[in-house]
Structure 1
Amino acid sequence: MPTVIVPVGFVMGPEFGPDGEPDREPLHYEVHFGGDPQNLTTDEFVAWAGAFTDPPRHAELQVNRKSLEEFLRTDNGLGGPLADPASVVTGLVERGLLVEYDPLEGPLEELFRGLRLFPQGQGLGSTPDEPTQYRIGFAGQPIASVSSNAYQLWSYSLTFASLWDACVDMAEAATNVEPGETPIDVDAETLVREVGSAIPMLVSTGAAFLDPLNYELG
């Protein structure tokens, strides 16, 4: 059972104070986190940003807490190695800035009820060579490729109160067809698994970001 680890939030970058040397360290790094922006130390930001690395392994559901901690122990180009990556990662998980889940067999409803999925980039559609795979990218260049179901949900899930609600709505809509049309064979559980398996790649490539539902929707 692959338990993946995925970052939550949207990077806002470093913040510097008005005084000091040009090469001074930032006061903190800010991450948009629903209605509660988070300030991260340098070590925390290195660990959070490290969870975005290696999209091909994310696509294979191979990035987990252990592999992330191992990466953070190396000279990884993000500011590592960290002296104690395990405690930093644990702290980020406890704050909800990193989430762990099993997309294939683990419980997902509670997690998805507390998250929203925001699309980024452009929808680039499918190709004659891969008509069942749909690409997402920037400036016409693909960065991710997902199934039709994941692609459709990626495009409109932000219009729902939570990622779970988006999955349930899409599954229900698949059975509401015009006379003569064939219903799409997908139920909510199957769709949740499909989307849950695509999220690590979508987030790590920057094709989407997860936002915690820690605020009241108007």
Structure 2
Amino acid sequence: MSPAAAGFEQAFAQALDDLRQDRLADPESYLSMVPRTRHDEFVDRLTAAMADAPPTAAAAGDGVAEAQARAAAAVAAARASGGPAGILPGALVALRRARGIERDDVLDHLAAEFELGESARPTLRRLYHGLESGTLLGSNVSHRLLASLARRFGARVEDFVAAIQPTGGAGRGAMAPMMARGAGDDGGGGRSAGAAPSRTARATPPDPDAELARRLFTGGPDA
């Protein structure tokens, strides 16, 4: 085995042992032993291991879980190459896994904090999935939504605001802000032939809670 390969395996074995003992350090302390060309591989493997081994209940009361959650966020930052939502998507997933938080728990928290009814749940779920998967444009996410998420994850809102800044361009996968376009709008100001909306569609008002959810995720920092 080459010295470089031996360094990788030694660092990963140490990280796994520290993970089992609830004393995982900042990932940078392990990456210093790993060739730079294999940093992404190391971080991917460590993230997978962390997802399979959340903090123990016994550790939750002595600060170990908090330290592991911070390490998880650092892992996410280390692996992120940037994108339309910055490094926040990876950090959210890593923090959620490290703390043993289900996605539905996050949705419940947001629904309660912003008083969103059950009718808005599909919209809320879709948009939060877009945030975690990195397809939302970070500059369109409201800061009060980030503050709410930071409270749920026990993080600092200023860190979330910094983490969501786009770093790799909007990309093809980024969701555009929700525009009030008709189903038959051709995007050029006209309406396609035969695409006139039905009277029922025109008479159905938008759900206010779903509209609020859209504003929180796509309406801009002050929405």
Q: Shared fold (TM-score greater than 0.5)?
A: no
Structure 1 or 2, whichever has the larger Rg, is 2
Structure with higher RCO (Cα < 8 A, 6+ apart): 1
Greater fraction of residues in strand: 1
Greater fraction of residues in helix: 2
